[in-house]
């Protein structure tokens, strides 16, 4: 096997390593974490550069490195545009439906109907505890006042999960 044949095979190996490295690095950018694809891609590019330094002249080697970097940048731009809203990747990987209150989904049970209702404490409120309001066992708080068990209370505020009560003065 002559020197020209070896150089010809090295050129194909060099080109294959550059392409493989660029594709694997682009895949790694699309996947979370630093894993096998990125490591193999970097190794492929480095081995390709070492082989290229033996086969081609310095200006050609620099041109090849610039082309590979531009190819990686192009793949990254394509991946970014595909991942943003409306792109091909975003349609397959991202959840586009919303679970909002208009469709009947809420993260907090709406307790606004308890506002103004009266009930009886089921435990000592110091200042948090439980009360029976409207036939339901509800976690409640006071605004700092201690209220014993079995006392009538009235809901004065509802703030998300927080139901604030005060003692009802009996006449």
Digit-coded pLDDT (tens) for 53-90: 777 788 877 887 788 788 778 877 877 777 666 666 55
Percent of the chain surpassing pLDDT 70: 77
pLDDT score for 171: 57
Q: What is the pLDDT of residue 58?
A: 81
What integer pLDDT is reported at residue 121 of this predicted model?
96
Query: Phi/psi zone of residue 156: left (φ > 0), alpha (ψ -120 to 50 degrees), beta?
Result: alpha
Domain ranges in the chain are: 3-93, 112-167
Specify the pLDDT at position 123. Answer: 94
User: Mean pLDDT of successive 10-residue segments in the chain (171 residues)?
Assistant: 60 80 78 76 83 78 80 76 65 63 64 90 93 92 92 91 89 57
Answer whether 38's CB lies under 8 Å from 25's CB. yes
pLDDT at 124 (0 to 100)? 93
CATH class label, 112-167: mainly beta
Give residue 8's pLDDT: 63
pLDDT for the residue numbered 109: 66
pLDDT given at position 98: 67
């Amino acid at each position: 096997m002559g020197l020209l044949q070896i150089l010809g095979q090295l050129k194909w190996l060099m080109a294959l390593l550059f392409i493989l490295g660029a594709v694997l690095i682009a895949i790694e950018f699309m996947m979370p974490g630093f894993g096998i694809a990125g490591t193999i891609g970097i190794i492929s590019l480095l081995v390709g550069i070492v082989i290229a330094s033996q086969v081609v002249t310095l200006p050609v080697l620099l041109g090849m490195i610039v082309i590979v970097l531009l190819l990686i940048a192009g793949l990254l731009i394509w991946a970014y545009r595909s991942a943003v809203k409306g792109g091909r990747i975003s349609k397959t990987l991202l959840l586009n439906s919303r679970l909002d209150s208009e469709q009947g989904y809420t993260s907090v049970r709406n307790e606004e109907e308890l506002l103004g209702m009266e009930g009886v404490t089921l435990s000592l409120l110091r200042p948090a505890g439980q009360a029976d309001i409207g036939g339901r066992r509800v976690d409640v708080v006071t605004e700092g006042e201690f209220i014993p068990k079995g006392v009538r209370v009235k809901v004065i505020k509802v703030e998300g999960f927080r139901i604030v009560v005060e003692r009802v003065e009996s006449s």
